[in-house]
Structure 1
Amino acid sequence: MESRNTSAPETASSGGALVLAWLFVGVPLLWGISQTFIKALALFNS
């Protein structure tokens, strides 16, 4: 019996592009979470 590789082919990507992609998504996400946390604290401190 022959073993076949049925997984998707690997694509080469640079580490820098991966870091930029995570920063592009992560920075606004963290900013939004921090703003939500600050506004929630203001509700409980009133």
Structure 2
Amino acid sequence: MSTDTSPPSRRGLIAFAWLWVGAPLAYGLYELVQKATQLFTG
């Protein structure tokens, strides 16, 4: 599914939705890697 057929307002909404979900997900993954590194390295 390409976003080229979407109107610009919808494209902005899709980008906002990705950021809304992606930012906490990226932060959670970052924290997970930090905790796992501490766990395995001591």
TM range, smaller chain: 0.7 to 0.9
Q: Which structure dedicates a bigger proportion of its chain to helix?
A: 2
Alpha-carbon RMSD: 1.4
Q: Which runs of 5+ in 1 are unaligned?
A: 1-11
| Greater RCO, CA 8 A, separation 6+ | 2
Largest Rg, 1 or 2: 1
Give me the TM-score of the superposition, normalised by structure 2: 0.74
Give me the TM-score of the superposition, normalised by structure 1: 0.69
Q: Which runs of 5+ in 2 are unaligned?
A: 1-6
Sequence identity of aligned pairs in percent? 40
Aligned residues: 35
